[in-house]
Amino acid sequence: MCGIVGYIGPRSAVPILIDKLRRLEYRGYDSAGVAVLEHGTCTVVKTVGKINDLAALLEQHPLDVNIGVGHTRWATHGQPSTPNAHPHTGNSGKLAVVHNGIIENYVELRRELEGQGHVFRSQTDTEVIAHLLEEKLDNGAEGDLYRALQLAAQDLEGAYAVAVVAESCPDRLHVVRKDSPLVIGLGEGENFIASDPTAILPYTRRVLYLENGDVGVITREGVALSDLQGNPIHRDVTEITWDVGAAEKGGYDHYMIKEIHEIPDAIRHTLRGRVNSDGKLAVTDLGLSDDDIRALKRIYIVACGTSYYAGVVGKYLFERILRVPTECDIASEFRYRDPIFEPDSLLIVISQSGETADTLAALREAQRHGVKVLAIVNVIGSSMYRESDVNFPTWAGPEICVASTKAYVTQLVCQYLLAFHFAVVRGQMTKEEADRLVGLLLQVPGQVQQILDGEDIYRELAENFMESRDFFFLGRGLDAAVSLEGALKLKEISYVHAEAYAAGELKHGPLALMWTDVPVFVTATQLELYDKTLSNIKEVKARRADVIALVRQSNTDIDEHVDWVIRIPETDDILMPFLTIIPPYLLTYWLSYALGREIDQPRNLAKSVTVE
């Protein structure tokens, strides 16, 4: 996904821009570039490929400059190529633009601008912004770039975070934002721009999060903000508290395995402030009144990818504990299926990034129908965080690997706390029972650690299944819900085809695929469903598949039926998802490692999907 950086100050800008671009590499990209003002002249250097390719180009053409913007592009309109890479310039070449998002009306704008004599050199939607700015500078803004940007933004439809350098403004950077994140980092006598605060963290912790429709002009000394009409506005400074070290690999080979090992702490942090020092449930500052909670008639959970699979667990949970009908939907389906919104319902959006385009659109659609939205996001200040009615954040810390792991587990924590809290308020669970379950939840970080301490079996499994091209994940109830996430993880990182099925579905189709040596990962921890799952294991084994069974510590009868057994600590059935997801995560990591995959940045995938 695209990334924007920018710098203005006394230091040499190029090394800072390159460093910041490297910090955004994890988002995935196909080309990169910078635009700087060199002796007052707008100079663009860009290339298809990696940041190292850009850095090599810049070494051939050293630029001693103090102001510039940079970009990593992930192709949406037009192939990955150097002409399509950002920054883009207009006819005059005197200003350069970097952009994240999509300009939906770029075809019409381009046609109009071409009619006015503008010559386009790329296939991108972004290039229209550069030409449009030039047009506004001449017509309406009287050479004032700040005003030109306000006017140009009024003509743009879609999502954008834009940063501009221009020869007419050698001491200023300009920015505008709508539906695509942009932050300004505040330094001493210098300032920074980034689409993701991770890029700014080594330089400053003080940031301004821009809101939709904010236009900004940034000098070395300060920042002025206005709305699109030019009315001055104010945004509070946010102090970023997470540690920059937390965003680095910390001795592990990959972010993925580091982040899996951070799961115990991520759970503890997410429980903090919601469980009191006596270990009792204490969700106090939710922003939903007890009357709202009592009135609830329906819950919608909407999300994408891993966050959606966390929501599938939430559906089981809310329905089982609250007896409130709960729908869990994929955001890209939900937003276009004209859902029926009922009064007294709550829509929960789940998102690690808080920026996923489809989930954000679903949030807005629900609000348009008067439905209250509660956001479970990991990025404070993200679009979903800002736009939802109620926030109940995960505290997983920055997640760098494209594959979501610790965020998923903390998304479960938030949903469990909400379910327990709602159930107590609605009188469906006694406070004592909620506290008993919270007591067990407090033991989960230690139990996850026990599983992490037994990593050897996953390396062994990885060695054994290196040649396998297909994997199946089976389970029932909450075990089925977690299997979905296990299969997604395996396919996205190892590139091995993986499918998850509710075990009861076997006879309705997938049994045809069970034959000699096909690996089948069966999770069988739900006590009430154990006998049924065991029957499914026997059916699969009868077809000579290779069965890996994930069972409770106390299970003594599984060994004779399967090829491999993984035992995990005991807890209440309902809390098992916190533990059953860890083995598939470890198996995925070690299999992908054995296969030599690009673990942290799997092909074709990006960390934050801000376009639909």
Binding site for ligand M6R (CB under 6 A): 304-307, 351-353, 356, 359, 402-404, 492, 605, 608-609
**Least distance in Å: CB of 195 to ligand M6R?**
14
Cβ proximity to ligand M6R, 14 vs 484, nearer residue: 484
Residue 115: CB atoms within 10 A of its CB come to 8
Among 20, 178, 315, 607, the active-site one is: 607
Cβ proximity to ligand M6R, 29 vs 192, nearer residue: 29
**Least distance in Å: CB of 418 to ligand M6R?**
17
Instruction: Please provide the size of the chain in residues.
Output: 612
In whole angstroms, what is the distance from residue 53 CA to residue 48 CA? 8
Cβ proximity to ligand M6R, 66 vs 351, nearer residue: 351
Residue nearest to ligand M6R (CB): 305
Residues 351 and 359: beta-carbon distance below 8 Å: yes
**Least distance in Å: CB of 306 to ligand M6R?**
3
In whole angstroms, what is the distance from residue 374 CA to residue 247 CA? 27
Distance from chain centroid for Cα 571:
30
Among 2, 42, 304, 328, the active-site one is: 2
366 contacts: CB under 8 Å, gap ≥ 6: 300, 302, 341, 347, 373
**Least distance in Å: CB of 607 to ligand M6R?**
7
**Least distance in Å: CB of 596 to ligand M6R?**
20
**Least distance in Å: CB of 449 to ligand M6R?**
22
**Least distance in Å: CB of 378 to ligand M6R?**
8
CB crowding 396-415: b at 16 or more within 10 Å, else e: bbbbbbbbbbbbbbbbbbbb
Cβ proximity to ligand M6R, 307 vs 533, nearer residue: 307
Residues 88 and 61: beta-carbon distance below 8 Å: no
Cβ proximity to ligand M6R, 217 vs 484, nearer residue: 484
In whole angstroms, what is the distance from residue 207 CA to residue 511 CA? 55
Cβ proximity to ligand M6R, 274 vs 607, nearer residue: 607
In this structure, the strands spanning 3-8 and 67-73 are: antiparallel
Cβ proximity to ligand M6R, 423 vs 484, nearer residue: 484
In whole angstroms, what is the distance from residue 136 CA to residue 13 CA? 28
Q: Is residue 607 annotated as a catalytic residue, yes or no?
A: yes
Q: Is residue 304 annotated as a catalytic residue, yes or no?
A: no
**Least distance in Å: CB of 493 to ligand M6R?**
8
The dihedral through the CA atoms of 7, 11, 13, 19 has a sign that is negative
Partnered with residue 475 across adjacent β-strands are: 502
DSSP letters spanning 444-483: HHHHHHHHHHTTHHHHHHHHHTTT--EEEEEESTHHHHHH
Three-class DSSP category at 292: helix
Q: Is 594 exposed, middle or buried (0-12, 13-18, 19+ CB in 10 A)?
A: middle
Residues 194 and 4: beta-carbon distance below 8 Å: yes
- The identity of residue 596, as a single letter, is G
Three-class DSSP category at 194: strand
Distance from chain centroid for Cα 302:
14
What residue ranges in 420-556 does DSSP mark as E strands? 470-475, 497-502, 519-524, 546-552
Angle, vertex CA 117, rays to CA 114 and CA 120, nearest 5: 50
Rg of the chain taking only CA atoms, in angstroms: 26
**Least distance in Å: CB of 402 to ligand M6R?**
5
Residues classed as catalytic: 2, 607
